[in-house]
Amino acid sequence: MLVTERTLVLIKPDGVARALVGDIISRVESKGLTLVALELKQATEEVARGHYAEHEGKPFYPSLLEFITSGPLVAAVLEGPRAVAAFRQIAGGTDPVEKAVPGTIRGDFALSTQNNLVHGSDSPESAEREIALWFPDLRA
Ligand code: GDP
Ligand code: MG
Residue 96 has pLDDT above 70, yes or no: yes
Say if residue 26's pLDDT is above 70: yes
At position 127, the amino acid (one-letter code) is: A
The reply to whether 119 belongs to the active site is: yes
Ligand 2: distance of its center to the CA of 123 in Å? 9
Q: Is the pLDDT at 77 greater than 80, yes or no? A: yes
Q: What is the pLDDT of residues 33-61, one digit of tens each?
A: 999 999 999 999 999 999 999 999 999 99
For residue 139, the one-letter residue type is: R
Closest ligand 1 atom, residue 115 Cα: 16
Read off the pLDDT band of 140 (50, 70, 90): confident
What per-residue confidence (pLDDT) applies to 1?
62
What pLDDT does 54 receive?
A: 98
Please list, in sequence order, all residues whose beta carbon lies within 8 angstroms of the beta carbon of residue 68, skipping any fewer than 6 positions away: 10, 12, 13, 43, 48, 51, 52
Q: Does 28 have pLDDT greater than 80?
A: yes
- Amino acid identity, position 123: S
What residues does each domain of the chain span? Answer: 4-134
Q: What is the CATH number of domain 4-134?
A: 3.30.70.141
Mean pLDDT value of segment 108-117: 98
Task: Convert the pLDDT of each residue in 98-107 to its tens digit.
Answer: 999 999 999 9
Range from 70-74, 97-101, 120-124, 135-139 carrying the lowest mean pLDDT: 135-139
**Residue type at 72?**
P
| Ligand 1 center from residue 111 Cα (angstroms) | 13
ipTM attached to this prediction = 0.98
Query: What's the pLDDT at 97?
Result: 98
Interhelix angle 124-134/83-91, rounded to 10 degrees, is: 80
Helices 83-91 and 21-31, packing angle to 10 deg: 130
DSSP the chain: -PPEEEEEEEE-HHHHHTT-HHHHHHHHHHHTPEEEEEEEE---HHHHHHHTGGGTTSTTHHHHHHHHTSS-EEEEEEEEETHHHHHHHHH--SSTTTTPPBTBHHHHH---SSS-SEEE-SSHHHHHHHHHHH-TT---
